[in-house]
Structure 1
Amino acid sequence: MTAILKTEHLSHRYASTWAIRDINIEIAQSGIVGLLGSNGAGKSTTMNIICGVLNQTEGNVFINGIDLRKNPEEAKKQIGFLPQNPPLYTDLTIDEYLTFCAHLRLIEKNKIRSAVEEAKERCSLGHFSTRLIKNLSGGYRQRVGIAQAIIHKPKLVVMDEPTNGLDPNQLIEARKLIRDIAIEHSVLLSSHILSEINLLCKEIIMIESGRMVFSDSMDAFNNYVQSKAILLRMDNPPAKTEIVKVPGVTQVDVLSEKQYRVYFDGSPEEVTDRLITASVEQGWKIKEIGPDKGLLDDVFKQLSSQSPQ
């Protein structure tokens, strides 16, 4: 099967400084792949090269088997790009803007209207067709940005921090939309927020100081460093001094009236079993127990501190 995206030894230098070095990525199917890294790690440079905005110093990019450098026009037909700040003409209506984008994407004239309607439907924009973009909320502007990225039905959709700056309700809607798009497209999603990547992605690539330091499944990333804390939610929580009495428990933080973070030494399975036993014996009524995903920051720090090989 031809990879939808493949980069080989991708490197780029600004003056005398390498922004990225020897980046090798391969995406073979639809779904969401996270591109994770701290600010300045090289994520935007990598995405700009993949989308043909920037020419690499070294290496190759193939989009659905097409060499981006040798055949840029054909390769770019396979790419949809949502930059961190969507490229919107705010004095146009949604219909006018998407029609303009369809022309830019060289969609056949007799198919432009249907392409615009389909993109609006997928992004739930139909009821705002004639509204000026400048009068839309931040969440709906982001939807318009996503619509322009998928209007030509590309194989690969690249999104740079697509949920940045959205309020909680807009975040939920944007995540659902991204998941829906990933059913038919491969999505490369960049973020510096671990929780966002964890919620959306099954595969993850991490870049730090311009180098790849991790490329594997989200589960493998979560398990890279054994979590030393458990989240515990109970209907009838005891005083935290009672939880500390459980063998292996070293510290307890109260997160809310019914939710605790429990730190421990030793085997997580053994401590979990002891907590469940104590709950049954003392009537704590545990409703949820599991590793604290918030401590993925520890994994991020450990990987970030690795010296590039």
Structure 2
Amino acid sequence: MPHILKVEKLSHKYNSNWAIRDINIEINGNGAVGLLGSNGAGKSTTMNIMCGVLNQTEGYVYINGQDIGKEPELAKREIGFLPQQPPLYPDLSIDEYLTYSAELRMIPKHKIKGAVRDVKERCGIAHFSNRLIRNLSGGYKQRVGIAQSIIHQPKLVVMDEPTNGLDPNQLIEVRKLIKEIAQDHVVLISSHILSEIHLMCKDVIMIEGGRIVFSDSMNAFNDYIQPHSLVIRMEQPPTAAELLTIKGVTKADFLTDRQARIYFDGDEEVAERIIAASMQQGWKLRELTLDKGLLDDIFKQLSIQPNS
């Protein structure tokens, strides 16, 4: 079976400056994949080339085995795209707009009505079928934008900042919808918001300075920075000064009367020393947990631009 998305040695430059360089991506199997990067990192250029909007300077993009440069029509049939500003027509109703979207996607006429019905049900907008798009809330406009991106059942769905500008309730609903779509499609989500990628995606690709600096699972991304602090809870806690006498402990801050965060120098045996000290001194240790690196810390570390 061909990869749903395969990108080989993809590079592009504007004038004399390289926007992206030697991008390699392989995705095969449904699920949500995050495309992370700061502004100007190269995310938009990469997405535009993947979707056939921009011709690359070097390299290849294959969508479900089709070279988008040589067979653009065949490749684009397998792509759904939701840009940051959904391409909606405010004076059309949902039914009118989705029918038009189905025609643009060259769905056979006898199948359009069924395709519109199915995608409305899937995106939770069937009860607003005849409402003008201009009269919808931001969350429902986004649902209509998502509906147009999947109406033709593409293998790959590309979404650019799909939760941008939504209120908290709308965020929850749209995240849930995207997760459901990812069960049957590859969904590539571009964003600079780490928390959104963390909540929706199983894998992460990070571009910085036009190059991929990380490509792995979300768990691997979370574990990228080794923990250098732990939180302990005790019934009879010592003073901060006493905790500092434990070999490897560099700092101790009490969060509550009985809970403290302890920073250490990377020595993996520090936890065992704390447990031993608790038993000897009668601190009655009840809980000890390692702190994982915060996503923002990981982002900062990975955002150091690679050498050319």
Q: TM-score range by the shorter chain?
A: 0.7 to 0.9
Counterpart-to-counterpart distance in 1, 2:39 and 2:120: 32
Counterpart for residue 305 of structure 1: 304
* Contact 2:30/2:186 (8 A) holds in 1: yes
- In structure 2, the CA distance between the partners of 1:167 and 1:240, relative to structure 1 (3 Å rule), is farther
- In structure 2, the CA distance between the partners of 1:66 and 1:270, relative to structure 1 (3 Å rule), is same
> Rg: which structure is higher?
2
- In structure 2, the CA distance between the partners of 1:201 and 1:241, relative to structure 1 (3 Å rule), is farther
Counterpart-to-counterpart distance in 1, 2:261 and 2:26: 38
Counterpart-to-counterpart distance in 1, 2:99 and 2:170: 25
Cα shift at 1:165? 1.4
Counterpart-to-counterpart distance in 1, 2:156 and 2:241: 49
1:230-269 mapped onto 2 (5 Å cutoff): 230=230, 245=243, 247=246, 248=249, 250-252=251-253, 254=255, 263-267=263-267
Counterpart-to-counterpart distance in 2, 1:262 and 1:168: 34
Cα shift at 1:257? 11
Counterpart-to-counterpart distance in 1, 2:11 and 2:265: 43
- In structure 2, the CA distance between the partners of 1:262 and 1:270, relative to structure 1 (3 Å rule), is closer
Counterpart-to-counterpart distance in 2, 1:17 and 1:67: 25
1:201-216 mapped onto 2 (5 Å cutoff): 201-216=201-216
Counterpart-to-counterpart distance in 2, 1:159 and 1:37: 14
* Contact 2:36/2:43 (8 A) holds in 1: yes
Counterpart-to-counterpart distance in 2, 1:268 and 1:125: 53
Partner-residue secondary structure (3-state), 1:298: helix
Counterpart-to-counterpart distance in 2, 1:273 and 1:157: 50
- In structure 2, the CA distance between the partners of 1:27 and 1:267, relative to structure 1 (3 Å rule), is same
- In structure 2, the CA distance between the partners of 1:229 and 1:198, relative to structure 1 (3 Å rule), is farther
Work out whether 1:78 is the aligned partner of 2:64. no
Counterpart-to-counterpart distance in 2, 1:91 and 1:139: 18
Partner-residue secondary structure (3-state), 2:159: strand
- For residues 221-244 of structure 1, the C-alpha deviation after alignment (integer angstroms, 9 at most, x for no partner) is 222221224467x7x999996698
Counterpart-to-counterpart distance in 2, 1:143 and 1:272: 51
- In structure 2, the CA distance between the partners of 1:224 and 1:99, relative to structure 1 (3 Å rule), is same
Cα shift at 1:199? 1.8
Cα shift at 1:9? 1.0
* Contact 1:249/1:271 (8 A) holds in 2: no
Paired residues in the alignment total 303
Counterpart for residue 130 of structure 1: 130
Letter in 1 for 2:86: P
Letter in 2 for 1:252: D
Counterpart for residue 57 of structure 1: 57
Letter in 1 for 2:251: T
Work out whether 1:9 is the aligned partner of 2:9. yes
Letter in 1 for 2:11: S
User: TM-score scaled by structure 2?
Assistant: 0.87
Letter in 1 for 2:296: D
1:49-198 mapped onto 2 (5 Å cutoff): 49-198=49-198
* Contact 2:35/2:205 (8 A) holds in 1: yes
Counterpart-to-counterpart distance in 2, 1:274 and 1:67: 58
* Contact 2:275/2:285 (8 A) holds in 1: no
Work out whether 1:296 is the aligned partner of 2:295. yes
* Contact 1:7/1:25 (8 A) holds in 2: yes
Letter in 1 for 2:75: A
Cα shift at 1:36? 0.7
* Contact 1:36/1:207 (8 A) holds in 2: yes
- In structure 2, the CA distance between the partners of 1:258 and 1:24, relative to structure 1 (3 Å rule), is farther
Deviation larger for 270-279 or 59-68: 270-279
* Contact 1:261/1:292 (8 A) holds in 2: no
* Contact 1:240/1:252 (8 A) holds in 2: no
Counterpart-to-counterpart distance in 1, 2:98 and 2:259: 47
Partner-residue secondary structure (3-state), 2:266: coil
- In structure 2, the CA distance between the partners of 1:116 and 1:7, relative to structure 1 (3 Å rule), is same
* Contact 1:42/1:209 (8 A) holds in 2: yes
User: TM-score scaled by structure 1?
Assistant: 0.87
- For residues 24-67 of structure 1, the C-alpha deviation after alignment (integer angstroms, 9 at most, x for no partner) is 11101111111111111010110011011111111111000001
